[in-house]
Structure 1
Amino acid sequence: MNLQQLQYFQKIADTENFTTAAALASVTQPALSKAISKLEAELNVPLFERNGRNIKLTSFGEAFQKHANVALSEIEKGIRELEDMANPDRGIISIASTHCIGTYFMPFIISDFLGCFPNTKFQFNHESTPEVLTDLKDGKIDLGFYDKITSISANAEIKSIPVKRE
């Protein structure tokens, strides 16, 4: 079984028509039929009930469709994750901050950043300063904002840059 067979299966199940599915998949109808025949032979069950030009999923096909959809969805998530890693200006930045900083300071920083990088997404957490520092050390977050200046010297392994003084 391969990814292409799962994609073909999904298109046929959605359209209930080999010709339409073949056009959507940009493949010839005989090639699509052959791929599905191989999939059915490998699974040792019929996935579609053919009645002339009309087709519908068998009970085996309905059961398999749920799992095929989950598998294809997970593969898509993996592809998006790799794309985000390869294009960091379009990825997700995880940020943790103390509640006060997150409420009153972060909106200004984020709005300026989004002006330059509009495709970026953020994940925010409000935590105590020790939790922010632990998450930075463990690599659970990309950026941390905290307000205890004494914490900077106690955590030399974390690169800290003062952003604002009051």
Structure 2
Amino acid sequence: MELRQIQYFIEVAKREHVTEAANYLHVAQSAVSRQIFNLESELGVDLFVREGRNVKLTPIGKVFLKHMEEAIAILENAQREIEEYLDPGHGTIRIGFPTSLATYTMPTAISAFRERYPDVKFQLKQGAYYDLIDRVAKGEIDMALLGPVPMREKKVRGSILFSENLVALLPIDHPLAKSPTLKLSQLREDGFILFPKGYILREILFEACEQQGFQPTVTFEGEDIDAIRGLVSAGLGVAIIPEITLIDGVPRSTVKVPIVEPSVTRTVGIIIPKDRHLLPTQNLFYHFLIDFFTRLDKFQD
């Protein structure tokens, strides 16, 4: 079994199409077909079922794919570890983040780090909360910035960097727009603009509303902070969002009002895998983040 055969097999499995895999690999289709045939002959099993121009993994093919992806990840990590051991300042960090940390927190941290280590490269992956936890656990990314920080996950370890308030974003003509503060219960008759089901910020709001004895009426949903802020700006409802997403100012025709009852907060931090150690460059960035936000918090106090 050759490494090239494994690489060809994985690409065909991902695309379920030999020609598309060949185009991605920049090799002839016949070369890919031949290597897959040789691999199946060596293993003595069919890895794919042919369906016209497409292919589908057989049950044993799916098992083989899982093991081969793990094997490739081990080989790639070994190569990265050697390279980063020789020079941690030239490594690559694969980091994930949700939309709520995309505007300020993530860019600020990376910018500060690159002032000290300008040759480190980043591969940025934006995603939803639970998806990012899963990708860190599987090794698809090295770490992720998240809020709130999961502290009871079996396969990832969380470190809190700071805590922040969630605030109400209201249309400028809302009856409570001029209030210095508000109680969440005062919004029980309003329509809320929320993230879709499965997003953690939606869960935080529902839990806070239930503590106040009501369930929020959802009028619109948006998959990112910009969409939610835009819908509030259009007067289509109210939103409860992290205060840090408004650090550069509130959108036109909206106002920000702090919530005093209950205090709606979240932790923000970094998650890393529990079952494998960080490579030198990853470890460098991980400890930089902890030190950076500790110093930033002290400065703001």
TM-score band, normalised by the shorter chain?
0.5 to 0.7
- Consecutive unaligned residues of structure 1, counting only runs of 5 or more, are 93-111, 125-166
Distance in 2 separating the partners of 1:18 and 1:84 = 35
Pair 1:52 & 2:87 matched: no
Letter in 2 for 1:43: L
Counterpart check, 1:40 vs 2:28: no
- The answer as to whether partners of 2:80 and 2:91 remain within 8 angstroms in 1 is no
Amino acid at match of 2:65: Q
Inter-partner Cα distance in structure 2 for 1:91 and 1:83? 7
Gaps of 5+ in 2: 93-111, 121-280, 288-301
The TM-score with structure 1 as length reference comes to 0.57
Structure number with higher relative contact order (C-alpha < 8 Å, ≥ 6 residues apart): 2
CA separation of 1:113 and 1:38: change in aligned 2, threshold 3 A: closer
Question: Can you list the C-alpha shifts for 1:44-94, whole angstroms capped at 9, x where unaligned?
Answer: 0000001221210001101101101100111110111122133343359xx
Q: How does 1:107-122 map to 2 (within 5 A)?
A: 115-118=115-118, 119=120, 121=282, 122=284
Q: Which runs of 4+ in 1 moved over 4 A?
A: none
Q: Which has the higher strand share?
A: 2
| Partners of 2:37 and 2:44 in 1: CA distance | 10
Q: Number of residues paired by the alignment?
A: 106
Question: Is contact 2:17–2:55 with CA below 8 Å preserved after alignment?
Answer: yes
Tell me the SS of whatever aligns to 1:49: strand
Give me the TM-score of the superposition, normalised by structure 2.
Answer: 0.32
Bigger proportion of residues as helix? 1
The residue type paired with residue 72 of structure 1 is: I
Q: Which moved more, 1:75-84 or 1:36-45?
A: 75-84
C-alpha distance in structure 2 between counterparts of 1:117 and 1:22, whole Å? 37
Summarize the Cα distance change of 1:51–1:113 in structure 2 as closer, same or farther, 3 Å threshold.
closer
Using the alignment, how far apart are the partners of 1:34 and 1:10 within structure 2?
A: 14
Superposed CA RMSD: 2.4
